[in-house]
Structure 1
Amino acid sequence: MPLTPTPRTPEHDQDGWHRAALLILDTINCFDFEGGEQLEARAIGAAQAIVRLRDEMRARDWPIVYVNDNFGHWHSDSSALVAAAVRGGSRLARILQPSATDYFIIKPQFSGFYATNLPVLLPKLGVRRLILTGVATDICVLFTAADAHMRDYQLWVPCDAVAAESDERSNWALNIMAKAMGANIDSTTELSLDCWRERSEAHCGS
Protein backbone atom coordinates (compact mmCIF):
# COMPACT_ATOMS: atom_id res chain seq x y z
CA MET A 1 0.00 0.00 0.00
CA PRO A 2 1.61 3.33 -1.08
CA LEU A 3 2.35 5.86 1.60
CA THR A 4 0.27 9.04 1.68
CA PRO A 5 2.40 12.03 0.57
CA THR A 6 3.29 14.36 3.41
CA PRO A 7 4.53 17.96 3.29
CA ARG A 8 8.27 18.43 3.73
CA THR A 9 9.98 21.27 5.56
CA PRO A 10 13.36 22.89 4.85
CA GLU A 11 16.33 21.43 6.70
CA HIS A 12 17.13 24.78 8.34
CA ASP A 13 15.00 27.46 9.96
CA GLN A 14 13.64 29.98 7.46
CA ASP A 15 13.43 33.77 7.52
CA GLY A 16 9.81 34.47 6.59
CA TRP A 17 8.50 37.32 8.70
CA HIS A 18 5.93 38.14 6.02
CA ARG A 19 4.36 34.69 6.34
CA ALA A 20 1.80 33.41 8.80
CA ALA A 21 0.64 29.92 9.72
CA LEU A 22 -2.96 28.91 10.28
CA LEU A 23 -3.43 26.64 13.30
CA ILE A 24 -6.67 24.63 13.35
CA LEU A 25 -7.18 23.24 16.83
CA ASP A 26 -9.10 20.07 17.78
CA THR A 27 -11.61 20.13 14.92
CA ILE A 28 -10.98 16.45 14.14
CA ASN A 29 -13.16 15.41 17.02
CA CYS A 30 -15.97 13.00 17.82
CA PHE A 31 -17.40 15.37 20.47
CA ASP A 32 -18.43 12.32 22.49
CA PHE A 33 -18.10 13.97 25.89
CA GLU A 34 -20.29 16.01 28.22
CA GLY A 35 -21.04 19.32 26.51
CA GLY A 36 -19.73 17.99 23.21
CA GLU A 37 -23.02 18.37 21.37
CA GLN A 38 -23.25 22.07 22.23
CA LEU A 39 -19.60 22.60 21.38
CA GLU A 40 -19.86 20.93 17.98
CA ALA A 41 -22.93 22.98 17.07
CA ARG A 42 -21.06 26.19 17.85
CA ALA A 43 -17.93 24.94 16.10
CA ILE A 44 -19.89 24.26 12.92
CA GLY A 45 -20.92 27.91 13.09
CA ALA A 46 -17.21 28.82 13.09
CA ALA A 47 -16.33 26.39 10.31
CA GLN A 48 -17.24 28.78 7.49
CA ALA A 49 -14.70 31.34 8.70
CA ILE A 50 -12.06 28.62 9.16
CA VAL A 51 -12.66 27.35 5.62
CA ARG A 52 -12.31 30.88 4.22
CA LEU A 53 -9.01 31.35 6.02
CA ARG A 54 -7.79 27.91 4.98
CA ASP A 55 -8.59 28.57 1.33
CA GLU A 56 -6.80 31.93 1.42
CA MET A 57 -3.75 30.40 3.09
CA ARG A 58 -3.61 27.66 0.45
CA ALA A 59 -3.85 30.25 -2.32
CA ARG A 60 -0.82 32.04 -0.84
CA ASP A 61 1.05 28.78 -0.24
CA TRP A 62 1.25 29.61 3.47
CA PRO A 63 1.28 26.73 5.96
CA ILE A 64 -1.81 25.18 7.51
CA VAL A 65 -1.20 23.18 10.66
CA TYR A 66 -3.86 20.99 12.23
CA VAL A 67 -3.13 20.64 15.95
CA ASN A 68 -5.26 17.91 17.43
CA ASP A 69 -5.69 16.02 20.67
CA ASN A 70 -4.91 12.33 20.63
CA PHE A 71 -7.94 11.67 22.90
CA GLY A 72 -5.92 9.14 24.84
CA HIS A 73 -5.07 7.02 21.79
CA TRP A 74 -1.30 6.99 22.11
CA HIS A 75 -0.75 4.70 19.12
CA SER A 76 -2.88 6.80 16.80
CA ASP A 77 -1.85 8.92 13.81
CA SER A 78 -3.49 11.68 11.81
CA SER A 79 -5.26 9.43 9.29
CA ALA A 80 -6.65 7.25 12.08
CA LEU A 81 -7.93 10.27 14.00
CA VAL A 82 -9.63 11.69 10.90
CA ALA A 83 -11.17 8.33 9.99
CA ALA A 84 -12.46 7.78 13.54
CA ALA A 85 -14.06 11.23 13.70
CA VAL A 86 -15.74 10.91 10.30
CA ARG A 87 -16.85 7.37 11.06
CA GLY A 88 -18.22 8.60 14.38
CA GLY A 89 -20.48 11.04 12.58
CA SER A 90 -18.63 14.29 13.25
CA ARG A 91 -20.02 16.93 10.89
CA LEU A 92 -17.14 19.27 11.74
CA ALA A 93 -14.50 16.68 10.84
CA ARG A 94 -16.17 16.12 7.47
CA ILE A 95 -16.16 19.87 6.74
CA LEU A 96 -12.58 20.45 7.90
CA GLN A 97 -10.74 17.33 6.79
CA PRO A 98 -7.06 18.14 6.18
CA SER A 99 -5.46 17.77 2.78
CA ALA A 100 -2.24 15.91 2.01
CA THR A 101 -0.33 19.22 1.93
CA ASP A 102 -1.43 20.30 5.43
CA TYR A 103 0.68 19.62 8.50
CA PHE A 104 -0.81 17.61 11.35
CA ILE A 105 0.45 17.78 14.93
CA ILE A 106 -0.92 15.41 17.57
CA LYS A 107 -0.88 16.87 21.08
CA PRO A 108 -1.30 15.14 24.45
CA GLN A 109 -2.49 18.17 26.43
CA PHE A 110 -4.31 21.50 26.06
CA SER A 111 -1.51 23.52 24.45
CA GLY A 112 -0.37 22.80 20.92
CA PHE A 113 3.18 23.56 22.06
CA TYR A 114 3.34 21.18 25.02
CA ALA A 115 5.26 17.95 24.28
CA THR A 116 4.83 18.32 20.50
CA ASN A 117 7.12 19.21 17.61
CA LEU A 118 5.23 22.45 16.90
CA PRO A 119 8.03 24.61 18.44
CA VAL A 120 10.47 23.00 15.98
CA LEU A 121 8.14 23.04 12.97
CA LEU A 122 7.17 26.72 13.02
CA PRO A 123 10.71 28.16 12.68
CA LYS A 124 11.38 25.75 9.82
CA LEU A 125 8.27 27.09 8.09
CA GLY A 126 9.61 30.63 8.53
CA VAL A 127 6.63 32.14 10.32
CA ARG A 128 6.38 34.59 13.21
CA ARG A 129 2.63 35.15 12.99
CA LEU A 130 -0.07 32.67 13.95
CA ILE A 131 -3.79 32.58 13.28
CA LEU A 132 -5.50 30.43 15.91
CA THR A 133 -8.84 28.81 15.10
CA GLY A 134 -10.92 25.88 16.30
CA VAL A 135 -12.04 24.64 19.72
CA ALA A 136 -12.36 25.24 22.49
CA THR A 137 -11.75 28.96 22.85
CA ASP A 138 -11.46 28.79 26.63
CA ILE A 139 -9.28 25.68 26.80
CA CYS A 140 -6.99 24.54 23.98
CA VAL A 141 -7.08 27.78 22.00
CA LEU A 142 -6.35 29.80 25.14
CA PHE A 143 -3.49 27.57 26.32
CA THR A 144 -1.95 27.49 22.84
CA ALA A 145 -2.22 31.28 22.58
CA ALA A 146 -0.44 31.69 25.93
CA ASP A 147 2.45 29.49 24.84
CA ALA A 148 2.65 31.26 21.48
CA HIS A 149 2.70 34.65 23.20
CA MET A 150 5.57 33.57 25.46
CA ARG A 151 7.47 32.66 22.27
CA ASP A 152 6.86 36.14 20.78
CA TYR A 153 4.47 35.11 18.02
CA GLN A 154 2.07 37.76 16.74
CA LEU A 155 -1.46 36.42 17.20
CA TRP A 156 -4.79 36.72 15.46
CA VAL A 157 -7.62 34.76 17.07
CA PRO A 158 -10.66 35.61 14.90
CA CYS A 159 -13.71 35.61 17.15
CA ASP A 160 -15.84 34.02 14.42
CA ALA A 161 -13.35 31.18 13.81
CA VAL A 162 -13.28 29.77 17.36
CA ALA A 163 -15.95 28.23 19.55
CA ALA A 164 -16.63 27.20 23.15
CA GLU A 165 -19.61 25.59 24.85
CA SER A 166 -21.13 29.04 25.43
CA ASP A 167 -20.65 32.59 24.17
CA GLU A 168 -19.80 33.67 27.72
CA ARG A 169 -16.89 31.24 27.96
CA SER A 170 -15.65 32.14 24.49
CA ASN A 171 -15.82 35.89 25.13
CA TRP A 172 -14.07 35.50 28.49
CA ALA A 173 -11.14 33.70 26.85
CA LEU A 174 -10.99 36.10 23.90
CA ASN A 175 -10.75 39.05 26.27
CA ILE A 176 -7.85 37.42 28.10
CA MET A 177 -6.03 36.77 24.83
CA ALA A 178 -6.59 40.34 23.69
CA LYS A 179 -5.63 42.07 26.93
CA ALA A 180 -2.91 39.79 28.29
CA MET A 181 -1.38 38.46 25.08
CA GLY A 182 -1.90 41.29 22.62
CA ALA A 183 -3.92 39.07 20.29
CA ASN A 184 -6.12 40.60 17.64
CA ILE A 185 -9.60 39.12 18.06
CA ASP A 186 -11.38 40.88 15.18
CA SER A 187 -13.61 38.62 13.10
CA THR A 188 -12.70 37.54 9.57
CA THR A 189 -15.34 39.92 8.26
CA GLU A 190 -13.78 42.85 10.13
CA LEU A 191 -10.14 42.15 9.31
CA SER A 192 -8.42 40.75 6.23
CA LEU A 193 -5.23 38.73 6.23
CA ASP A 194 -3.36 41.58 4.53
CA CYS A 195 -4.61 44.20 6.99
CA TRP A 196 -3.63 42.04 9.96
CA ARG A 197 -0.17 41.53 8.50
CA GLU A 198 0.26 45.27 7.99
CA ARG A 199 -0.88 46.01 11.54
CA SER A 200 1.47 43.45 13.05
CA GLU A 201 4.38 44.79 11.00
CA ALA A 202 3.65 48.30 12.25
CA HIS A 203 3.39 47.02 15.83
CA CYS A 204 6.80 45.40 15.58
CA GLY A 205 8.35 48.38 13.88
CA SER A 206 9.30 46.49 10.77
Structure 2
Amino acid sequence: MPPSPLRPSTLQSTPLPESEQVLLLVDVINPMNFPAAADLLPHAQAAARRIDRLKRRLARSGSAAIYANDNYGTWHSQFGDILAACQALSDGRGEIARLLAPGPEDLVILKPQHSAFHSTPLQHLLGKMKARKLVIVGWAADMCVMLSATDARMLGHEVWVPQDCIASETPERWERAVRQLEEAFDCSVRPAVAQDDQAA
Protein backbone atom coordinates (compact mmCIF):
# COMPACT_ATOMS: atom_id res chain seq x y z
CA MET A 1 0.00 0.00 0.00
CA PRO A 2 1.56 3.37 -0.98
CA PRO A 3 2.21 5.90 1.78
CA SER A 4 -0.39 8.59 2.34
CA PRO A 5 0.47 11.86 0.63
CA LEU A 6 1.60 14.65 2.92
CA ARG A 7 -0.74 17.58 3.37
CA PRO A 8 0.74 20.75 1.82
CA SER A 9 0.98 22.42 5.23
CA THR A 10 3.02 19.55 6.69
CA LEU A 11 6.30 20.55 5.05
CA GLN A 12 5.92 24.30 4.85
CA SER A 13 9.16 25.95 5.87
CA THR A 14 9.06 28.60 8.58
CA PRO A 15 11.69 31.33 8.40
CA LEU A 16 13.75 31.86 11.53
CA PRO A 17 13.38 35.31 13.06
CA GLU A 18 16.45 37.47 13.50
CA SER A 19 16.74 38.19 17.21
CA GLU A 20 19.83 39.70 18.82
CA GLN A 21 18.49 38.58 22.21
CA VAL A 22 16.86 35.18 22.74
CA LEU A 23 14.98 33.86 25.76
CA LEU A 24 16.01 30.23 26.42
CA LEU A 25 13.56 28.30 28.61
CA VAL A 26 15.24 25.20 30.02
CA ASP A 27 13.10 22.23 31.13
CA VAL A 28 10.10 24.34 32.16
CA ILE A 29 7.69 21.74 30.72
CA ASN A 30 8.50 19.05 33.19
CA PRO A 31 6.70 16.04 34.75
CA MET A 32 9.18 16.17 37.66
CA ASN A 33 9.29 12.42 38.08
CA PHE A 34 12.30 12.24 40.38
CA PRO A 35 12.75 11.78 44.14
CA ALA A 36 13.32 15.44 45.08
CA ALA A 37 10.57 16.84 42.84
CA ALA A 38 8.44 17.84 45.82
CA ASP A 39 11.29 20.06 47.02
CA LEU A 40 11.76 21.72 43.63
CA LEU A 41 8.11 22.24 42.73
CA PRO A 42 7.19 25.19 44.99
CA HIS A 43 10.32 27.09 43.93
CA ALA A 44 9.56 26.33 40.27
CA GLN A 45 5.95 27.51 40.63
CA ALA A 46 7.07 30.87 42.01
CA ALA A 47 9.72 31.24 39.31
CA ALA A 48 7.22 30.24 36.58
CA ARG A 49 5.01 33.23 37.31
CA ARG A 50 7.99 35.56 36.96
CA ILE A 51 9.12 33.77 33.79
CA ASP A 52 5.69 34.34 32.28
CA ARG A 53 5.95 38.08 32.96
CA LEU A 54 9.50 38.24 31.64
CA LYS A 55 8.62 36.30 28.48
CA ARG A 56 5.78 38.68 27.70
CA ARG A 57 8.00 41.72 28.23
CA LEU A 58 10.83 40.36 26.09
CA ALA A 59 8.37 39.43 23.33
CA ARG A 60 7.14 43.02 23.24
CA SER A 61 10.74 44.14 22.66
CA GLY A 62 11.17 41.68 19.79
CA SER A 63 13.10 38.89 21.52
CA ALA A 64 12.43 35.37 20.28
CA ALA A 65 11.94 32.41 22.64
CA ILE A 66 13.38 28.91 22.39
CA TYR A 67 12.25 26.05 24.63
CA ALA A 68 14.99 23.49 25.31
CA ASN A 69 13.35 20.52 26.96
CA ASP A 70 14.41 17.07 28.08
CA ASN A 71 12.70 14.22 26.30
CA TYR A 72 12.70 12.33 29.64
CA GLY A 73 13.75 9.14 27.86
CA THR A 74 10.58 9.03 25.73
CA TRP A 75 12.43 8.54 22.45
CA HIS A 76 9.28 7.91 20.40
CA SER A 77 7.53 11.06 21.51
CA GLN A 78 7.57 14.64 20.28
CA PHE A 79 7.48 17.85 22.30
CA GLY A 80 3.72 18.10 21.83
CA ASP A 81 3.26 14.74 23.54
CA ILE A 82 5.36 15.85 26.53
CA LEU A 83 3.51 19.16 26.74
CA ALA A 84 0.08 17.48 26.64
CA ALA A 85 1.06 14.96 29.32
CA CYS A 86 2.37 17.70 31.64
CA GLN A 87 -0.61 19.98 31.06
CA ALA A 88 -2.93 17.13 32.03
CA LEU A 89 -1.34 16.87 35.49
CA SER A 90 -3.65 18.25 38.16
CA ASP A 91 -1.02 19.67 40.52
CA GLY A 92 1.58 22.42 40.25
CA ARG A 93 3.38 20.62 37.44
CA GLY A 94 0.31 20.96 35.26
CA GLU A 95 -0.14 24.57 36.34
CA ILE A 96 3.39 25.41 35.19
CA ALA A 97 2.95 23.59 31.87
CA ARG A 98 -0.28 25.44 31.16
CA LEU A 99 1.16 28.82 32.15
CA LEU A 100 4.41 28.48 30.21
CA ALA A 101 3.20 26.56 27.16
CA PRO A 102 4.96 27.84 24.03
CA GLY A 103 3.08 30.05 21.62
CA PRO A 104 2.90 29.41 17.87
CA GLU A 105 5.82 31.78 17.24
CA ASP A 106 8.14 30.09 19.77
CA LEU A 107 10.78 27.52 18.81
CA VAL A 108 11.18 24.15 20.54
CA ILE A 109 14.06 21.68 20.69
CA LEU A 110 14.43 18.43 22.62
CA LYS A 111 17.68 17.68 24.42
CA PRO A 112 18.98 14.29 25.56
CA GLN A 113 21.23 15.58 28.37
CA HIS A 114 21.53 18.49 30.78
CA SER A 115 22.86 21.28 28.56
CA ALA A 116 20.57 22.82 25.94
CA PHE A 117 23.57 22.80 23.59
CA HIS A 118 24.56 19.14 23.93
CA SER A 119 23.54 17.10 20.83
CA THR A 120 20.90 19.66 19.81
CA PRO A 121 20.58 22.18 16.94
CA LEU A 122 20.61 25.13 19.35
CA GLN A 123 23.98 26.55 18.34
CA HIS A 124 22.96 26.35 14.67
CA LEU A 125 19.63 28.07 15.37
CA LEU A 126 21.25 30.90 17.33
CA GLY A 127 23.72 31.46 14.52
CA LYS A 128 20.95 31.65 11.92
CA MET A 129 19.02 34.05 14.17
CA LYS A 130 22.12 36.23 14.65
CA ALA A 131 21.64 35.97 18.42
CA ARG A 132 24.30 37.56 20.58
CA LYS A 133 22.60 37.67 23.99
CA LEU A 134 20.85 34.84 25.82
CA VAL A 135 18.42 35.15 28.71
CA ILE A 136 18.30 31.72 30.36
CA VAL A 137 15.53 30.66 32.74
CA GLY A 138 14.20 27.37 34.10
CA TRP A 139 15.35 24.53 36.32
CA ALA A 140 17.29 23.22 37.90
CA ALA A 141 19.55 26.21 38.50
CA ASP A 142 22.51 24.08 39.55
CA MET A 143 22.13 21.49 36.78
CA CYS A 144 20.55 22.12 33.37
CA VAL A 145 20.42 25.91 33.67
CA MET A 146 24.01 26.07 34.90
CA LEU A 147 25.37 23.82 32.16
CA SER A 148 23.40 25.60 29.44
CA ALA A 149 24.66 28.98 30.65
CA THR A 150 28.29 27.88 30.86
CA ASP A 151 28.14 26.39 27.36
CA ALA A 152 26.63 29.65 26.11
CA ARG A 153 29.46 31.64 27.67
CA MET A 154 32.08 29.33 26.15
CA LEU A 155 30.48 29.96 22.74
CA GLY A 156 30.84 33.70 23.23
CA HIS A 157 27.29 34.72 24.12
CA GLU A 158 26.44 37.43 26.60
CA VAL A 159 24.32 35.65 29.21
CA TRP A 160 21.72 36.89 31.68
CA VAL A 161 20.30 34.32 34.12
CA PRO A 162 17.63 36.18 36.12
CA GLN A 163 18.03 34.81 39.62
CA ASP A 164 14.30 35.04 40.33
CA CYS A 165 13.43 33.01 37.19
CA ILE A 166 15.39 29.87 38.10
CA ALA A 167 14.77 27.23 40.74
CA SER A 168 16.61 24.47 42.58
CA GLU A 169 15.65 21.79 45.06
CA THR A 170 16.99 23.79 48.02
CA PRO A 171 17.80 27.46 48.68
CA GLU A 172 21.42 26.44 49.32
CA ARG A 173 21.79 24.85 45.88
CA TRP A 174 20.13 27.88 44.26
CA GLU A 175 22.49 30.26 46.08
CA ARG A 176 25.57 28.27 45.04
CA ALA A 177 24.43 28.25 41.43
CA VAL A 178 23.76 31.99 41.35
CA ARG A 179 27.15 32.73 42.91
CA GLN A 180 28.98 30.41 40.52
CA LEU A 181 27.22 31.84 37.46
CA GLU A 182 28.09 35.39 38.45
CA GLU A 183 31.60 34.98 39.84
CA ALA A 184 33.08 32.16 37.78
CA PHE A 185 31.29 32.54 34.47
CA ASP A 186 30.58 36.28 34.34
CA CYS A 187 26.84 35.87 33.78
CA SER A 188 24.49 38.63 34.84
CA VAL A 189 22.15 37.32 37.54
CA ARG A 190 20.18 40.50 38.16
CA PRO A 191 16.53 39.70 38.93
CA ALA A 192 13.80 40.20 36.34
CA VAL A 193 11.14 41.45 38.75
CA ALA A 194 12.85 44.79 39.43
CA GLN A 195 12.86 45.59 35.72
CA ASP A 196 9.22 44.57 35.41
CA ASP A 197 8.32 46.83 38.31
CA GLN A 198 10.18 49.77 36.76
CA ALA A 199 8.39 49.25 33.47
CA ALA A 200 4.95 49.06 35.10
TM range (shorter): 0.7 to 0.9
Identify the match of residue 143 of structure 1 among 144, 147, 154.
147
Query: What displacement does 1:5 show?
Result: 8.4
Asked if the contact 1:39/1:164 (under 8 Å) is kept, the reply is yes
Residues 65 and 7 of structure 1, relative CA distance in 2, 3 Å threshold: farther
| Partner residue, 1:70 | 71
Gaps of at least 5 residues in structure 1 are 193-206
Q: TM-score, normalised by structure 1?
A: 0.84
Percent identity of equivalent pairs: 33
Gaps of at least 5 residues in structure 2 are 1-6
2:119 is the alignment partner of 1:115: yes
Q: Which runs of 4+ in 1 moved over 4 A?
A: 1-7
Give the aligned CA root-mean-square deviation in angstroms. 2.1
Structure 1 SS opposite 2:184: helix
| Partner residue, 1:104 | 108
Structure 1 SS opposite 2:87: helix
Identify the match of residue 15 of structure 2 among 8, 19, 23.
8
| Partner residue, 1:60 | 61
Structure 1 SS opposite 2:164: coil
Query: What displacement does 1:55 show?
Result: 0.3
Query: What displacement does 1:191 show?
Result: 4.4
Structure-to-structure mapping, 1:118-197, within 5 angstroms: 118-191=122-195
Query: What displacement does 1:189 show?
Result: 2.7
| Partner residue, 1:40 | 41
For this pair of structures, how many residues does the alignment match? Answer: 187
Instruction: Kindly provide the amino acid, as one letter, of the partner of residue 113 in structure 1.
Output: F
Residues 90-145 of structure 1 show CA distances to partners (whole Å, capped at 9, x for unaligned) of 22111111111100010000000000000100011111100010100000000001
